[in-house]
């Protein structure tokens, strides 16, 4: 299960270790909004220094994993933690909230989007991430651009997750299932999963249900990394947590639908990861019992 904790060891190594102990198997780099152009413009860095700064995020993630490994030693908690290089959408660079709508794809070409993504992906790959996390992508054209761009790094695996405005459509308004299938077909050899993130958990099952109905012999794996389900108010911040159904309550159904990567986006804490992990373990155990008993 991914953990999106920031990986600055001076402030967050304890928090990251808590996420690992809670059950996180994947640590995402703090590079969701990172871009060469952004660092040049807002930090006054050179192109080369900006490139190296993105690579530094991977080094810090590796350090966090090393600290965890040292802490747990050879105990039962010791396991391989994967490092995912977080790659957010082009709209994060525009500072107009268009990453939540995908409106920029109407006037920004796929080539421009690919050219913007390329150096940040190159930096993450060079730094040695285990997998790339293309996340919160709001529109089909950007998803397609990323799938084509990924082919330039033929040894690299990735997952692709979209942001959706309801239980049927991407944030840009396209039919999610059609978009997901199309992107999978572009690059099935490098993708490990396609799905959704930063959506309300109540939308996940409707978005994913039936997506592999015509692929029963060769279903593609799915990813679900929703937020807490809370509402965001620009004045009050996050609200209505007490009205939300706990994310872990949805986990068994998602697993049954074919989800192979489960994580948490906004407002997901170590306690949530622990409860999600518990549900995953329970579901897995029950499935093993069914197989042992000779049932399908």
State how far the Cα of 274 lies from the Cα of 153, in Å rounded to an integer.
Answer: 34
Question: Is residue 244 annotated as involved in ligand binding?
Answer: no
> Nearest Cα to 253, choosing from 291, 198, 205?
205
Question: Is residue 7 annotated as involved in ligand binding?
Answer: no
Instruction: List, in sequence order, every residue forming a beta bridge with 232; answer none if it has no partner.
Output: 238
Question: Is residue 65 annotated as involved in ligand binding?
Answer: no
Q: How far is CA 193 from CA 154, 239, 250, in A?
A: 16, 31, 19
Helix (H) or strand (E) holding 289: helix 270-292
CB 268 within 8 A of CB 227: yes
Q: How far is CA 17 from CA 80, 132, 133, in A?
A: 13, 21, 21
> Nearest Cα to 157, choosing from 221, 214, 234, 98?
221
Q: What are the tokens at 128?
A: 């040695």
Mapped onto helix, strand or coil, the DSSP state of residue 85 is strand
State how far the Cα of 96 lies from the Cα of 190, in Å rounded to an integer.
Answer: 32
Task: Pick out the residues of the known binding site.
Answer: 198, 265-266
Task: Pick out the residues of the known binding site for Zn(2+).
Answer: 198, 265-266
């Amino acid at each position: 299960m991914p953990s999106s904790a920031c990986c600055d060891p001076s402030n967050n190594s304890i928090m990251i270790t808590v996420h690992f102990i809670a059950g996180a198997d994947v640590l995402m780099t703090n590079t969701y909004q990172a871009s060469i152009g952004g660092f040049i413009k807002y930090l006054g860095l050179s192109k080369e220094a900006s490139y190296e700064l993105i690579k530094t995020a991977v080094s810090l993630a590796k350090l966090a994993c090393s600290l965890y490994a040292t802490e747990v030693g050879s105990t039962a908690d010791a396991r391989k933690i994967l490092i995912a290089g977080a790659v957010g959408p082009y709209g994060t660079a525009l500072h107009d909230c268009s990453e939540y709508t995908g409106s920029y794809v109407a006037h920004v070409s796929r080539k421009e989007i690919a050219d913007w993504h390329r150096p940040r992906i190159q930096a993450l790959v060079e730094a040695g991430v285990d997998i790339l996390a293309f996340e919160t992508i709001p529109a089909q054209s950007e998803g397609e651009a990323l799938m084509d761009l990924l082919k330039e790094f033929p040894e690299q695996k990735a997952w692709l997750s979209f942001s959706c405005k309801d239980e049927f459509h991407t944030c840009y308004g396209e039919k999610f299932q059609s978009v997901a299938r199309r992107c999978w077909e572009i690059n099935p050899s490098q993708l490990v999963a396609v799905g959704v993130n930063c959506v309300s958990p109540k939308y996940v099952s409707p978005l994913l249900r039936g997506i592999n109905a015509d692929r029963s012999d060769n279903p593609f794996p799915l990813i679900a990394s929703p937020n807490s389900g809370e509402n965001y108010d620009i004045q009050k911040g996050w609200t209505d947590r007490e009205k939300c159904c706990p994310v872990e309550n949805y986990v068994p159904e998602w697993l049954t639908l074919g989800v192979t990567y489960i994580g948490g986006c906004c407002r997901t804490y170590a306690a949530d990861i622990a409860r999600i992990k518990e549900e995953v373990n329970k579901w897995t155990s029950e499935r093993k019992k069914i197989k042992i008993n000779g049932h399908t």
